[in-house]
Each structure stands twice: as C-alpha cells, then as structure tokens.
Amino acid sequence: MPRCFPWLGGLTGLWLSASASAFTLPDWPPTLELDHTLVQTSLLTRHFDPQPDHNNQQNLIGIELHNPDRWLAGTAWFKNSYNQPTWYVYAGREFPLWQFKDINVRAKLTGGLLHGYKGEYRDKIPLNHLETAPILLPSIGMQWGRLESDLIIFGTAGMMVTAGLRF
C-alpha cells in the first residue's frame, strides 16, 4: 500500500489551479523551428516505497529540443531503479504557469517509449511485454536564465529532480 505524501496533493492543486489559457494548444502540427536545446542530468531520486534493491543514483543525461510554441522532443539515458541502462525517447509540451521577475514556473508533460527494464524486473512497469513500454511523465519546473530544473513524478513509484542548461 503506497504511503500518502501531503506535498503531492499540494503539487496537484498547483497544477490544476493554473489558468486554462496556459493549456491551450497552438496550431497543429508544431513547427520544426528550433528555439533552444536543454541538456540535463539527475540530481536526486526518491522512491515512494523504497526497496533494498532500488537504485537512487540514476546518472541521467538527457537532451531536449524545444520549438518557439513550447513543444519539445528528447531522449534520455539513465540507470533505472534496478541499475539497468535505460532509454526514454519522448515528445511533449511545456505549459507556462506563472512568472516571478526572471524566474518562469511551468508544467511539462512528456510521453514516449521507455526501454531497459529487463529480466526479472521486466514486469515492474506496466505494458512492458517487449521490454519497451509507453509512459507519460508529468513534471513541474522552473527556468532562470539558462538554468532549468524539474520535479518529475514517475507514476506511483517515485520522483526525480533534474537540472540542466539551455543553449
């Protein structure tokens, strides 16, 4: 039975209280114009129900390509919860929430394919029959100048804090 985290409810409340205009989508399909690139790494990982075989040092390295309409595509390599090399290839969108002077706060939703949960750990994530599973990852983050940081929630399993630089 998962434990209850009061801050998770607050995070959900912040997400849902964002203005509806922040979630309107621009013309479809997204333009293939590059606005900036984000290179990022993991700083902290915590599992909501820690097990002795869980790895909290993901060593993530990722790259995202962003267009001017806040659409993005990316790939990330990391060590999964069971210390197996894993790839996440994805696309998504940022949703601006608010701005404090030079700090922009935003939500992000990415979806894609996760490959790397193998062997005895193959069934630890849903729909991973071929060792590749579809996933959606919500996050909330901030950008200050060229620096960005995100709090990513990965299902009911845990969370990760990332940081990166824009180019």
**33-42: per-residue pLDDT in tens?**
999 999 999 9
Q: Over 50: is that where the pLDDT of 122 sits?
A: yes
Report percent pLDDT > 90 for the chain.
Answer: 76
Q: Over 60: is that where the pLDDT of 25 sits?
A: no
pLDDT on residue 16: 52
Give 26's pLDDT tier (boundaries 50, 70, 90). Answer: low
Average pLDDT over residues 83-107: 96
Which tokens in the block code for residue 107? 């939500």
pTM: 0.82
Give the phi and the psi of residue 131 in degrees, each rounded to 5.
65, 20
Paired with 82 in beta bridges are none
pLDDT on residue 85: 97
DSSP labels for 72-120?
Answer: EEEEEEEE-TTS-EEEEEEEEEEEEEEEETTEEEEEEEEEEEEE---GG
Q: Over 50: is that where the pLDDT of 1 sits?
A: no
Q: Over 70: is that where the pLDDT of 48 sits?
A: yes
pLDDT on residue 29: 80
Do 31 and 158 touch, CB atoms closer than 8 A? no
